[in-house]
Chain A
């Protein structure tokens, strides 16, 4: 059942409740001008509108999901459904066809069985749709009436509305948190299925990565799933090379912008720097693959490094470093600017130069904020996909030579999920295990960063 019609009804109920309640609340004032009602008419109106709309609206949303299952169950109970194949793609296709016919989204069906199921579908949809609309209306009307009957001059509508609003805000923040749990849960399930084929220890510490989505699954399958080279490649590109670029450049530009640049220049340069963060990573990927990587290869060949390849960890890392400069610099910028002016004055009044003040007072005082910025940047870098897909290569290799091609966790996730292997093959499932590791590492980095920032905030209070 589509939730659109019940929701529109709920909205209409709310509007009616609002108008009626306001009219009622206004009579309170007129009937007894000496006593001032507790709340303004507007609050009475909102109280009734929210009581009518919220529970009914929530029910309509939940019902639109739950009724799908009920419809399906009643269709399958129909005698015509006995001829359906037991499971698999054909069964799902027939059901989908029958549903499309019943709701008028399709004109004809290929499978005769689908046509046979249409009456059952139509019946069930009508039944549960009707139940949904009726229940929504009853709920909305009951809520509105209950609220309306509570209206008195001394009714604390203002406080009640405040509480409902607080509940709404709480609900909104819970959605984001619950989504995170949902992400973990969905990854977790597939990850466990992967670990049925490959032992976690071998996966985390094995050094040979060569999954073959076409290979038959046997006792030796696990040997091709040692992800250590991927972890190494990810950290080497994202946490070492990229940071060697991003930390000095980001920190120095933050110092320049907060301490030396004139306000006019700062107004120009800071947004320009932040544009870097808005460039789509695929554009960086082109830049890395087409411009930076060949240039690095040629330069390396020219100074006699024969192993230099046209896809290199260095190219990907350099461009990724450029990409995350704004993350480092804006966090550093904020935390340096947050150091009280009194610290700067104190140092300058001792006869310190501007640079001495920056190095000995401002940067140490801002260090927790800077560290937090770097950690957020690292977690961003190791989760970055497009640049490494385009510039780092596909070879899983444990090497410290930045001129060779390397591969990363994110690259392999893309490769495994877009391969031709079936969904329950370990090669495909490995993508989920890799995603899980990535998720946990970035989660840990973000967690540490937040803790560090929290300590920093306490420094001056």
Chain B
């Protein structure tokens, strides 16, 4: 068996030198005459350990990190391809506490698979949700999403199934699925990570949405600051099209659905859904008055589902395992899981997917490991989280708030619906 070495192509890992590490590994393989395959995976989201290199051993995957190009010869000397001991040895990634404590539903494959390999995607449970959806009536799909309790992960928290139902019930010759990938608020990177690490889950989610509401065309409106995500998404869409997941007959069914990526041009306001629609139409991004709702008159005046990346990427697991499975995670009216993005002056920055209900104190102190500078967090640390207040107020800001107001309050949607 050819050895497999995983070096992330996630832009966070690239920003920390993953490309140079991959090059150094390829060079060392050549020098030593070893045959191995270098897979460019997504990130697991443990950014203080990136670039995190993994190797496949008979006992499972083993991680090393953070790896610098200059570490590579010594990794080979330590026989890292068989999981040999080395100062950067991290053991099995899924046993690293930061990962072990997570509930990975939406991000189940992120960092594990080759993001542009549809075979890999299917080997890890991909497309099961879409296949199930194809065996149901559109209304049944919408009901599953409604019953799952999934609410808009972009911040506003509107029930996704209700939005879909409105579009399903609106008659029109053409309808659209639009994915809001204009992730503009500082401190947020979950959308970027999933698009770079598991783009097929978003593609699958959009295809299911299309079948559910009767839309045949989807657009991902991606911010221009994410060129790496654009590259991965386009590769994945091409692969999905080639395999018949997208196109005139989705997986051989009577349903047609295709999609493309459209890149924005640096206007923050286009993260607001109606401004985004204007921008997709080729106009200045201006917020529209509502009503009409985009579900009635959206893109080009046609009924449009517009959802955030994570909302759509959460649909495949719901359609795979059922509404009840997803709804059983979480608390109160906040069902399922939420990717928590930990960044700023914190020791363990990264992405942590968990069921709703954690407190900010747990997130910052236990999971984040305290401040990077070692100063007490009341000093100058700034903690931000997205918890469902909409784009502008999505994050609870400021060290003071983190210290005094939130520690006991579980993470959940603040909007009552």
Say whether A and B bind each other. Answer: no
